[in-house]
Amino acid sequence: MGYELHITRRDDRCDEEGAEIGRQEWESAVAADPDLVTQPVPGGWPADAFSSALMATRADREHGIEVLHWDQGLISAKHPSDVLIAKMCELARHLGARVQGNDSEHHGS
């Protein structure tokens, strides 16, 4: 499975009820951030299924790219580096949300 961090407006990321981060908000935040680049939806996938953004976090490595995924009002990253965690905290502040881990812990609050 793996450890994930999430940007959410809900009291708890697992709650089915609560404020969501809209797709347009997410895509506007990505477009406004020079560190993020939109990743196209793979061919054959529904265009509204999810939205992803890439960030170069380790220039010293061949595969130093990490991904943020927006899906159903929640933004997530799997095994984020410290650099990506800092970016997630920055995005959360911009979006009026917060960063929460798998164990319900909060980051950058």
| Cβ atoms of residues 76 and 67 within 8 Å | no
Residue with the larger pLDDT of the pair 41 and 85? 85
The structural domain count of the chain equals 1
> What's residue 32's pLDDT?
92
What is the extent of the structural domain holding 99?
A: 4-107
Q: Where does residue 85 fall: left (phi above 0), alpha (psi -120 to 50 degrees), or beta otherwise?
A: alpha
Average pLDDT value for residue range 74-81: 90
Q: For 87-96, what is the mean pLDDT?
A: 94
